[in-house]
């Protein structure tokens, strides 16, 4: 009788387990990446076609009514959509994408002469950099050289940095403002220094990276957004924020820019100090108690309304792309951990929570980014740079995993 009761119990347990809802098995990463890239291509072709009759405009975001907002070549995000198109062409070898990528890249060409802001690196290298990499067209190469010459005109040797903003209304409180975002523009200078055998480009980039590493980071390796310098002494005169929650908070995209920037500088220069800095920033981000389980950060790690604060997909995409590369430069468990977080981020961004529906979201790829929360602009909307770094992360992971 005892054995009979045990048998009945086992059968009942088996029945209960069999009737319980089963979790769907996780999609293979290769399937996630390929489906996401195919969707990105679909959206980007729709985007390109939507602006065919506006030859001087580039996608920026959407407004409160869900309508596309565009910008001219002079706005700092202008190079990102051409870069998306070049990445998607690289992935698919689709000639339609190449034609559109060429079209939108040339829309940014006049920015090679820009000397009144630091974003010429974003504008030109995210567009013409990929164009030259994938076509070897010397005309693209020449544009990058001119843009690099333009960018270094903003370097102050006393400070040791490239100035970020000039006398814009929001920047008049600072004497010589340098934002952490500026680390991203150094990639063009590092590439140009090697390509054109011009040590001035690399010296400026190295000086900027070293000065930023010295003054922009707190003891926990979180970053200030803005550091303003005294041009007579070269020393910091203010450490503030413009887009973060507070001067002492860790603005999420700022942490992402810093991480990506020092990973890139290690790749280009091989300086172990840059690798150590990248690892410290990564560890700050990944070990932060306010990093959500899905690894897409709140717009600021110190936002007062966490866990109800808005997420920033753009910060998540930038961190993801940087971690994939950083996993190649470290070994053992740390490499595995960085890659695992990046995979989690890619899966999250590729889920319905963040990925748009076909033909929706202004034809952008990702939802839920935050541009400038304190100003109330571009809040919980798609952003062209979120799409750029997401597609870059997909491409990097595909290559990293040999998929």
Tokens of 173: 């409180």
Tokens matching residue 46: 């729709």
Q: Is 146 annotated as a binding residue?
A: no
Catalytic position from the list 110, 119, 283, 312: 119
> Are 209 and 261 contacting, i.e. CB atoms less than 8 angstroms apart?
yes
Asked whether residue 293 is marked as a ligand-binding residue, the answer is no
110 classed as catalytic:
no
Tell whether residue 257 is among the known ligand binding residues.
Answer: yes
Q: Tell me the sheet residues that pair with 127.
A: none
Q: 251: closest CA among 191, 205, 319?
A: 319
110, 181, 305, 380: which is the annotated catalytic residue? 181
116 is catalytic: no
Distance between CA atoms of 18 and 24, rounded to whole angstroms?
Answer: 14
CB-based contact 387:395 (threshold 8 Å): no
* Residue partners of 332: CB distance under 8 A and separation at least 6: none
How far is the CA of 201 from the CAs of 127, 271, 280, 386, in angstroms? Answer: 19, 17, 27, 28
- Write out the binding residues for substrate: 119, 181, 241, 253, 257
Residues making up the binding site: 119, 181, 241, 253, 257
Question: Residues with catalytic annotation?
Answer: 119, 181
């Amino acid at each position: 009788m005892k054995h009979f009761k045990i048998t009945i119990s086992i059968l009942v347990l088996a029945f209960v387990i069999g009737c319980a809802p089963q979790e769907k098995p996780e999609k293979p990463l290769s399937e996630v990446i390929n489906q996401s890239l195919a969707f990105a291509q679909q959206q980007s072709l729709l985007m390109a076609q939507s602006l065919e009759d506006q030859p001087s405009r580039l996608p920026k975001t959407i407004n409160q009514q869900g309508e596309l907002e565009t910008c001219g070549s002079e706005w700092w995000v202008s190079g990102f959509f051409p870069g998306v198109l070049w990445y998607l062409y690289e992935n698919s070898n689709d000639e339609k994408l190449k034609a559109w990528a060429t079209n939108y890249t040339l829309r940014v060409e006049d920015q090679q002469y820009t000397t009144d802001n630091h974003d010429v690196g974003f504008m030109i290298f995210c567009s013409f950099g990929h164009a030259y990499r994938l076509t070897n067209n010397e005309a693209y190469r020449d544009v990058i050289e001119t843009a690099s010459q333009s960018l270094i005109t903003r370097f102050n040797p006393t400070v040791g940095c490239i100035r970020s903003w000039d006398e814009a209304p929001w920047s008049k409180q600072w004497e010589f403002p340098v934002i952490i975002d500026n680390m991203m523009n150094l990639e063009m200078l590092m590439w140009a220094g090697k390509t054109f055998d011009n040590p001035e480009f690399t010296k400026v980039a190295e000086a900027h990276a070293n000065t930023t590493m010295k003054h922009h980071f707190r003891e926990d390796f979180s970053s200030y957004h803005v550091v303003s310098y005294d041009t007579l002494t070269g020393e910091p005169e203010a450490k503030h924020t413009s887009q973060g929650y507070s001067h002492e908070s860790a603005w999420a995209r700022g942490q992402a820019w810093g991480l990506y920037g020092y990973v890139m500088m290690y790749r280009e220069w091989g300086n172990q100090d840059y690798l150590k800095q990248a690892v410290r920033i990564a560890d700050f981000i990944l070990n932060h108690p306010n990093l959500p389980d899905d690894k897409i950060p709140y717009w600021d790690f110190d936002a007062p309304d966490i866990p109800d604060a808005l997420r920033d997909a753009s910060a998540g995409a930038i961190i993801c792309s940087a971690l994939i590369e950083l996993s190649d430069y470290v070994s053992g468990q740390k490499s595995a951990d960085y890659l695992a977080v990046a995979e989690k981020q890619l899966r999250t961004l590729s889920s319905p929570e963040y990925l748009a529906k076909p033909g929706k979201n202004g034809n952008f790829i990702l939802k839920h980014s935050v541009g400038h929360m304190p100003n109330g602009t571009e809040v919980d909307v798609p952003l062209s740079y979120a799409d750029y770094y997401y597609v870059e992360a997909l491409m990097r992971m595909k290559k990293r995993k040999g998929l």
